Amino acid sequence: MLGAIQANLQKLTAPTMNSPILVTGASQRVGLALALNLAQAGHTVVSASRSKSPKAEHPNIIQFQADLCLEQDRLALIDHLQRNYDGLRAIIHNASLWLDDDLANLNTMFKLHVEAPYHLNLALGEQLLKMNKADIIHICDETSSRGSKSHIGYAATKAALQNMVLSFAEKYAPVVRVNAILPGLLILKENSDDAYRQQTLKKALLEFEPGAQPLIEAVQFLLESQYSTGSNVVINGGRHLKNRIAVD
């Protein structure tokens, strides 16, 4: 009995060359590290980003250049996936923009954080449902559940992305598990000075810059999990507790 269960788990989680993982925004920073990790584990990864990166060159990574804010680019990506692959193991919506608050930026972030995932999830549903188990993972943000007075539009569009997890989890169950990851600080902004670095790190209980590894571990957990859907995985170093301590 145990042997049969283990065999089924291996079948569900084993990399499949003709059923890739789509990762958006995978040309730099955390998305790049995630794509490389998945590729090194044996998965075929389709990286959809506005620009190609020499750092993402790997035998298992197919770089597809697309501006996901544009419908015609999304349609080209959808057509590529439907024509070239038998199914789709997972979609990981990592593409993100952290822009200041104004109407133009709000529209851009809405297209990338909400419209693009909505479009891709609907259009590629049949590809996901061909699998024994498939996953959709929305990379949201810890501010998507608490707001941000300095980046209202960013937090609001990430909150919409988080909310869609619930609807798509219901729509595609039980074959497709749909979950969200809510990261806090993972990698500091480039060229950060020491004052900014110290101020930012002190906002969490775990006062260090973790890099991409926490998100990679969260993705690995969800890809292997058999009993998680419509859920949130928070990786913020205890920032919510630090805020509570400050108030107390």
Evaluate if pTM is beyond 0.85.
Answer: yes
Nearest Cα neighbor of 78 from 115, 26, 119, 20 is: 119
Instruction: Round to whole Å and give the CA distance between 56 and 110.
Output: 27
Q: Which of 85, 118, 154, 172 is catalytic?
A: 154
Instruction: Round to whole Å and give the CA distance between 6 and 224.
Output: 12
Tokens 């590629």 — which residue? 124
Within 10 angstroms of residue 145's Cβ, the number of other Cβ atoms is: 16
Q: For residues 123 and 80, is the Cβ–Cβ distance under 8 A?
A: no
| Strand order across the beta sheet in which 232-235 lies | 61-65, 45-49, 21-24, 90-93, 134-139, 176-183, 232-235
Q: 15-247: which CATH architecture?
A: 3-Layer(aba) Sandwich (3.40)
Nearest Cα neighbor of 132 from 42, 15, 12, 4 is: 12
Within 10 angstroms of residue 2's Cβ, the number of other Cβ atoms is: 6
Predicted confidence (pLDDT) per residue in 76-108, tens digit: 999 999 999 999 999 999 999 999 999 999 999
Catalytic annotation on 154? yes
Predicted confidence (pLDDT) per residue in 31-64, tens digit: 999 999 999 999 999 999 999 999 999 999 999 9
Predicted confidence (pLDDT) per residue in 178-204, tens digit: 999 999 888 767 776 677 677 777 887
